[in-house]
Each structure stands twice: as structure tokens, then as C-alpha cells.
Amino acid sequence: MASKKDQNKALGRGIGALFADVEEPENEEAIVELKLSDIHANPYQPRQKFDQTALKELASSIEKSGVFQPIIVRQPDAEIKKYEIIAGERRFRASKLAKQPTIPAIVRDVTEEQMMEVAVLENLQREDLTALEEAEAYDSLMKKLKLTQAEVSKRLGKSRPYIANYLRLLGLPDGVKTMIQKGQLSMGQARTLLSLKDKTKLEPLAKRAVKDNLTVRQLEQIVARYNGDADKPAKKVAVKKSPYIRASEEQLQEKFGTAVSIQAKASKKDQGKIEIPYLSNDDLSRILEILNINLD
């Protein structure tokens, strides 16, 4: 077992570094067959939904060939033959679907705090992680391990503004959070909605954004009007934007989470400028991080 100091260093590099050999059992580690009925999910696992189609495919493979890699579990009480999953919950769930009575496993001595860390880090590395789930993972680390935003930032190797921006999503109304979770609202749209001063208009505007398929830029213009910040009408665009320019704007807006604008020059073909507005110094730091620019 790695030292606590080494484990903390590994957090910034991900779950693979925290348990580098979690899927590669050492020679001296025994692989045992455990009853599925004696195994339970990690109690700190934030993930509740699993792709049922993928699970059924894995279950079919297990029915034919068995489980190739043992799951990793811990035994909270040495006197009771009950186990909690550290890694391999998909294999565990698929084995249940395949009606297998047992599953190969390795039992390891893991602390309560490590269980929390592994569960959250494993969740953060999911490819299908939504912005809201990422925010909930950071919040979970802070609450369960009593960490500050700065400490979470240091452990995960992300900037504090980056963590703060995601945590702000948790302050949105439940209806808006549901839209984010379903993929109806992007991170950029959610961040724009957070700047709305009259919070009673937040959920209706979110529904309008989904219904009318509003871009981040369009949403920012509406929010500015609601906030009374649009003192003068927007300047007319001198050059009509091509479908390529409009599509590029959309992609950049999604990436940076703000109303990126591409302005082509009327006098010179294939030339122009890209404008990336920011709302605060923290927002600027977030954008610079995306650009991989360090001004320290």
C-alpha cells in the first residue's frame, strides 16, 4: 500500500496513479471467488446511472467467457464476510445481469478516506460526465474530506477558478440543473444564466434557451437586457457571416463558455479577429487555462 503522502501526490494525476496496479494484481495477492450477494457498491460512489446497453453487452460476454479481470474490494469488518467495491462496479453489475453466483476479486486494505477519493476520482474520469456531475464530484470531495476549493484544486491539478465555476452550477434551480444533466443546456449557457440578476427569471429563460435552441451569445444578449446592461443597441454586422464562421463561433462558445465572436474583415478576404469576452479576473484565469497560458 502506498504511503499517505504518495497517495495525496497521486490525486492530481488521477485514479490510475492513486492505485497504479488496481487492475494488475501483484503476484502475492490472492484472487478469490466471492458471492455477489456479499458484495456492495462503494457507498461514496457519486455515479448512480450506468449505460444499460453497455452493461447488457458486457453481461453477454461474461455469460460466454466469464470475468477476465478480478474486481477490487475491501472488507470493512474482518469478522463479517461483506465487501465494498473499490474498482470494477460495471463488471459486478454485469455479472448480476448474467446471473453469475460469484465473481473473481482481490481483497485490499483500504481506508475510508481512500474509498471516498477513489469514488470521486473514478467518477471524474468518466467520458460521459456532465457539467453538473463534475460539479457534484468537487462538492463531494469538499464535504466528505472537509477540503477547501484551493485544496481540491491542488489535489486535482486544476485551477481554483475552474473548480469555483463548476461549483456555482449547484446554486441553480433544480429545474435548470435537470436540463444540464440531460444535456439540454451546455456549461456555457449555464454560466451565462448564473449572471442573471433577477433569479425568478432564471428557469423560464433556461426553458426558452432549450426551446429556441439559443446560442451562448444570444443568451448573453438576453441576460444583458434583463440586467439593464444593454444601454445601446448592438452594432450592425458589416459583413454577413458565412455558415463556416457561424459554426466556428458555436464551437468556440461551447469550448470557452462565453460569447466568442469572430469578425471577418470586409476589405480583406480570409482575415479577421476573434473576440473572447470575460466577466471577471477569475473568468479570465479560466479562459487562459483553457488556452494553456500561464501568466505566473
pLDDT in tens, 243-286: 788 778 877 877 777 778 888 776 666 788 888 877 667 677 77
Q: Name the grid cell of 15.
A: 485514479
What is the predicted pLDDT for the residue at 61?
94
Q: How far apart are CA 191 and CA 280, in angstroms?
A: 12
Instruction: Quote the Cα angle for 275-279-284, to 5°.
Output: 70
Q: How far apart are CA 36 and CA 57, in angstroms?
A: 19
Q: Check 26, 28, 79, 89 and give the catalytic one.
A: 89
pLDDT of 200 higher than 80: yes
**b/e for 253-268, b at 16 or more Cβ within 10 A?**
beebbbbbbbebeeee
Q: Name the grid cell of 159.
A: 485551477
Averaged pLDDT, 174-196: 90
pTM attached to this predicted model:
0.57
| CA end-to-end distance (rounded Å), the chain | 36
Domains of the chain by residue range: 4-124, 130-171, 172-290
Q: Which amino acid is at 180?
A: I
Q: How far apart are CA 50 and CA 122, in angstroms?
A: 13
Residue 24 annotated as catalytic: no
Taking each continuous run of H as one helix and of E as one strand, the counts in the chain are: 14, 7
Q: Name the grid cell of 133.
A: 456531475
Residue 294 confidence class, pLDDT cut points 50, 70, 90: low
* Helix ranges, the chain (H): 4-11, 15-18, 52-65, 89-97, 112-124, 131-145, 149-156, 160-167, 174-181, 187-194, 202-211, 216-226, 243-256, 281-290
Averaged pLDDT, 14-23: 45
Residue 60 confidence class, pLDDT cut points 50, 70, 90: very high
Note the pLDDT tens digit of each residue in 137-176: 888 888 878 888 888 888 888 888 888 889 999 999 999 9
pLDDT of 6 higher than 60: no
Please say whether the structural domain 4-124 has been given the CATH code 3.90.1530.10. Answer: yes
Residue 27 confidence class, pLDDT cut points 50, 70, 90: low
